[in-house]
Amino acid sequence: GSGGFRKRKHDNFPHGQRREEKENVNPSSPLMASFKSFQLELDTRHDKYERLVKLSRDITIESKRTIFLLHRFTSAPNGEEILNESEVKLDAVRRKIKQVAQELIGEDMYQFHRAISPGLQEYIEAVSFQYFIKTRSLISVEEINKQLIFTAEDREEATNVTSDSQDKQPPTCSLKVTPVDYLLGVADLTGELMRLCISSVGNGDIDTPFELSQFLRQIYDGFTFIGNTGPYEVSKKLYTLKQSLAKVENACYALKVRGSEIPKHMLADVFSSKTELIDQEEGLP
């Protein structure tokens, strides 16, 4: 009747006949040999993907620690020590990226891009944050790629790299950052610059917020040229970028209008409370 159980076509065959067909399969046939080679290839690719995911996670963690360290630059008595320590941390991150580059030798990077993209974005955010503190400008994607060219002299034994890939490793290996990863990393950088602005105000630095406001405005103008024509991830970051710019501009406005009325030791409390109010209105955590 209607709504009853529908029998599948292979249910018409007796179970004993299907069992006999399985027993009659020749494991040494060319067809079975082909499927075994496919299985080995897929298992090898999945294992490589998982290794890259773990490396990307390590790169993300170390890059975040570098960003937290760089935020101490405004309050530290000796900023050069902070920059030197951050350079050591970034060198450790680049050693992790070198392991990624060794894993991708002879492979199409875009087949594994989803595994390594989060770590690369976080690294771009960290290295561009350090570059801005040093030079007050934005690092280019070409400069980032120059730092990710590794020679055989500084090659280290990587625990996660197979012996076969080490034997086939050329004198140099490199990893190129894609334009999309670069744009996403720069978009995340704007949030760190907003936090740098608030901490600078709290330390009595009145000039840095206005400098950051102009810099963020230039980045925002560049992203608006892309608009909705670019990748979805980039256009999604535009809203967060706009909010970071608004917070910096509000801080500059308050400094310009009421800066002389607020004592310097109270500026941090004023702007931290203003930031919390803005976040509550936007529904941000």
* 143 annotated ligand-binding residue: no
The counts of H helices and E strands in the chain are 10, 2
pLDDT in tens, 217-260: 999 999 888 877 777 888 888 888 888 898 888 888 877 876 66
Q: Does residue 37 surpass a pLDDT of 80?
A: yes
* pLDDT (0 to 100) of residue 27: 73
State which fold the 179-261 domain adopts. Answer: Methane Monooxygenase Hydroxylase; Chain G, domain 1 (1.20.58)
Q: Does residue 21 surpass a pLDDT of 50?
A: yes
Percent of the chain at pLDDT above 90?
42
What does the block give as tokens for 1? 């009747």
Mean pLDDT of 46-54: 94
Q: Does residue 281 surpass a pLDDT of 80?
A: no
- Output b/e per residue, 176-214; b: 16+ Cβ within 10 A: ebeeebbbbbbbbbbbbbbebbbbbbbeebeebbbebbe
* pLDDT (0 to 100) of residue 149: 92
* pLDDT (0 to 100) of residue 11: 57
How many other β-carbons are positioned within 10 Å of the β-carbon of residue 2?
Answer: 3
Question: What does the alpha-carbon distance between residue 146 and residue 75 come to, in Å, rounded to a whole number?
Answer: 31
Predicted model pTM = 0.76
For domain 45-153+172-177, give the CATH number. Answer: 1.20.58.190
Domain residues of the chain, as ranges? Answer: 45-153+172-177, 179-261
* 192 annotated ligand-binding residue: yes
Domains 45-153+172-177 and 179-261 share a fold: yes
Q: Does residue 17 surpass a pLDDT of 60?
A: no
Q: Does residue 157 surpass a pLDDT of 60?
A: no
- Is 133 strand, coil or helix? helix
pLDDT in tens, 130-141: 999 999 999 999
Rounded to whole angstroms, the maximal C-alpha distance in the chain is 92
Mean pLDDT of 257-266: 63
Q: Does residue 26 surpass a pLDDT of 90?
A: no
pLDDT in tens, 58-83: 999 999 999 999 998 887 778 889 99
